[in-house]
Amino acid sequence: MSINKQEFIRRRERLMEHMEANSIAIVPSAHEKQRSADTQFPFRQDSNFHYLCGFPEPDAVLVLIPGREHGEFVLFCRDKDRTREIWDGYRAGPAGAVEYYAADDAFPIDDIDEILPGLIEGRERVYYAMGKEAAFDQRMMSWINTIRDKVRSGATPPGEFLDLDHFLHDMRLFKSAAEIRLMEKAAQISAEAHVEAMKICKPGMYEYQLDATIQYHSAMKGGLEPAYTSIVGGGANACVLHYIENKQKLNNGDLVLIDAGCEYQAYAADITRTFPVNGCFNPEQRAIYSLVLKAQEAAFACIAPGRHWNEPHEASVKVITEGLIELGLLKGELEQNIEEASYKEFYMHRIGHWLGLDVHDVGDYKVHGQWRVLEPGMVMTVEPGIYISPDNEAVEARWRGIGVRIEDDVVICKDGYRVLTSAVPKQVEEIEALMATNKDEGAQASLL
Residues with catalytic annotation? Answer: 38, 242, 259, 270, 349, 353, 360, 383, 387, 405, 407
Q: Which H or E run contains 435? A: helix 428-447
Nearer to Mn ion, 129 or 198 (CB): 198
Is 160 in a helix, a strand, or coil?
Answer: strand
Binding ligand GLY (rule: CB under 6 A), the pick from 270, 322, 408, 409 is: 270
Residue numbers 363-382 binding Mn ion by CB under 5 A: 381
CA distances from 138 to 80, 115, 160, 301 (A): 26, 17, 16, 49
> Comparing C-alpha atoms, which of 56, 69, 58, 59 is closest to residue 101?
56
Binding ligand GLY (rule: CB under 6 A), the pick from 259, 311, 358, 408 is: 259
Q: How many other CB atoms sit within 10 Å of the CB of residue 382?
A: 24
Smallest distance from ligand GLY to CB 296, Å: 13
74 binds, among ligand GLY, Mn ion, none (CB under 5 to 8 A by kind): none
Residue numbers 117-146 binding Mn ion by CB under 5 A: none
Nearer to Mn ion, 73 or 387 (CB): 387
Residue numbers 106-145 binding ligand GLY by CB under 6 A: none
Distance CA 138, CA 430 (A): 56
Distance CA 75, CA 36 (A): 30
Nearer to ligand GLY, 27 or 357 (CB): 357
Binding mask 386-415 for ligand GLY (x = CB under 6 A): ---------------------x--------
Q: At CA 206, angle to CA 204 and CA 210, rounded to 5?
A: 115
Smallest distance from ligand GLY to CB 240, Å: 13
Nearer to Mn ion, 72 or 407 (CB): 407
Q: What is the number of alpha carbons within 13 Å of residue 3 lying toward its C-beta?
A: 25
Helix axes 283-300, 310-326, angle to 10 degrees: 150
Q: At CA 378, angle to CA 372 and CA 379, rounded to 5?
A: 115
Smallest distance from Mn ion to CB 409, Å: 8
Which residues have a Cβ under 8 Å from the Cβ of 216 and sit 6 or more positions away? 193
Smallest distance from ligand GLY to CB 197, Å: 15
Using CB under 5 A as the binding rule, whether residue 270 contacts Mn ion is answered as yes
Over its C-alpha atoms, the chain yields an Rg (Å, rounded) of 25
CB-nearest residue to ligand GLY: 259
Using CB under 6 A as the binding rule, whether residue 228 contacts ligand GLY is answered as yes
Binding ligand GLY (rule: CB under 6 A), the pick from 184, 263, 322, 383 is: 383
With contacts defined by CB under 5 A, name the span among 99-107, 185-193, 321-329, 402-410 that binds Mn ion. Answer: 402-410
Q: How many other CB atoms sit within 10 Å of the CB of residue 152?
A: 7
Amino acid at site 99: E
- By the criterion CB under 5 A, which residues form the site for Mn ion? 259, 270, 272, 381, 407
- By the criterion CB under 6 A, which residues form the site for ligand GLY? 228, 259, 270, 353, 359, 383, 407
